Amino acid sequence: MAQEIKDLIAKIQQEGIQVAQTQAAQIKTEADSRAQKIIADARMQAEKIIEQANLEAKKLDASTNASLKQAGRDLLISLRKEINSMLEKLVKLNIRQTLTVEELTRIIRDLIKNAPLSLGSQIVISLAQQDKEELEKGFLKRLTEETKKQIILKSADEVDSGFIISFDAGKSTFDFSAQALAEYISGSLKPELNKILKSI
């Protein structure tokens, strides 16, 4: 009887061990399966994150390139404006330096002497106050006698150098002021300057 009990206990133990081993194997299989799924999910998630990061990096790169191109265009536009402004100032300064009283005298004399008779006998010349005073010192009298025309010199605040002349008592004018001449000269130079700037 004791032997039977021992055999029964051994059998129970054996069956318990087998059940435990089966359960352990099943638990291990389930754990492995879960681990594989967790790893696969983690890989998929990591791939999605990497893909998203790559997309964001490309967008950022494209945005940065677009911003750099726009900044470059803005800089070039600003540079062109600055160079054009400098060109106008240089031209205006050179015109002011060139249009001395002697030069004004020569230009005005030639204009009046070569003007068609049909333009009238009253000539109005508007110029800077200082130039007007200089011309009144002797040139005006000589020119009036030479041309036999009535010449009126007027000071004009809008003319800081050069002059504006009218052959019909002010109804129409020819503008030879430094401002008008500078605009004309720099306007002629700007297309060439723009070609140079575009090639940079």
Burial 149-177 (b: 16+ CB within 10 A, else e): bebebeeeeebbbbbbbbbeeeeeeebbb
What's the predicted TM-score (pTM) here?
A: 0.53
3-class SS shares of the chain: helix, strand, coil, % to 5: 75, 10, 15
The 10 Å Cβ neighbour count of residue 131 is: 22
- Residue 200: the pLDDT is 58
Distance CA 147, CA 125 (A): 15
Residue 140: closest CA among 156, 123, 128, 157: 123
pLDDT at 9: 67
Q: In whole angstroms, give the CA distance from residue 144 to residue 151.
A: 6
Per-residue pLDDT of the chain (200 residues; tens, 9 = 90+): 667 666 666 666 676 667 667 776 787 787 778 878 888 877 888 788 888 878 888 888 888 888 888 887 888 778 778 877 787 777 777 777 777 888 888 888 888 888 776 566 678 888 888 888 888 887 888 888 877 778 888 888 888 888 888 888 777 888 888 888 878 777 777 677 667 666 65
> What pLDDT does residue 107 have?
85
